[in-house]
Amino acid sequence: MVISQIIILNLALGIAPGESLIERELPSLFFPKRNVLPQSESTVTLGAIVWKQENIWSFWVNQQRVSPQAPHPLFKVVKVTPQHVEILWHASGETCVLKPGVSTPIPTLTVNQEGS
């Protein structure tokens, strides 16, 4: 019901489907600043997911919007569904599934330093 109201509002305001005002405002509507827990620099937390179809989606990681037109510097998006986001970490090459409200550690490369 909420998604249909968002679509109707977008159409009434004449906002293009790919860049809607509602999508930009969702994090502040669902996750107001006063209720946001401090983010660790070593984790990512998935906030809201706005999914319309396979290539029309947006989601928020640590309050930063990610979309096909606005990729995230730490990972490549493999798949977005209404329930979760599958990503590929650039640093490690590992895949990971992000779920809303769950903090996920950011993998780092470890260098094996052997004495010569």
Inside any domain, residue 61: yes
Inside any domain, residue 114: no
Question: What SS3 class is residue 29?
Answer: helix
- Give the pTM: 0.60
Compute mean pLDDT per 10 residues along the chain, 116 residues long, and list them. 54 53 53 44 90 93 93 94 95 93 80 48
Decide: 50 and 65 in contact? Cβ < 8 Å.
Answer: no
Decide: 96 and 104 in contact? Cβ < 8 Å.
Answer: yes
Q: What is the pLDDT of residue 42?
A: 86
Quote the domain boundaries for residue 85.
Answer: 2-105
Decide: 49 and 100 in contact? Cβ < 8 Å.
Answer: yes
Q: What is the pLDDT of residue 91?
A: 86
Domains in the chain: how many in total? 1
Inside any domain, residue 110: no
> What is the spatial order of strands in the sheet that 43-53 belongs to?
64-66, 56-61, 43-53, 103-105
Inside any domain, residue 111: no
Please name every residue paired with 79 in a beta bridge, in sequence order, or none if there are none.
86
Inside any domain, residue 18: yes
Q: What is the pLDDT of residue 116?
A: 44
Give Cα 84 distance to the centre of its chain: 9
Q: Which of 67, 73, 75 is nearest to 20 (CA)?
A: 67
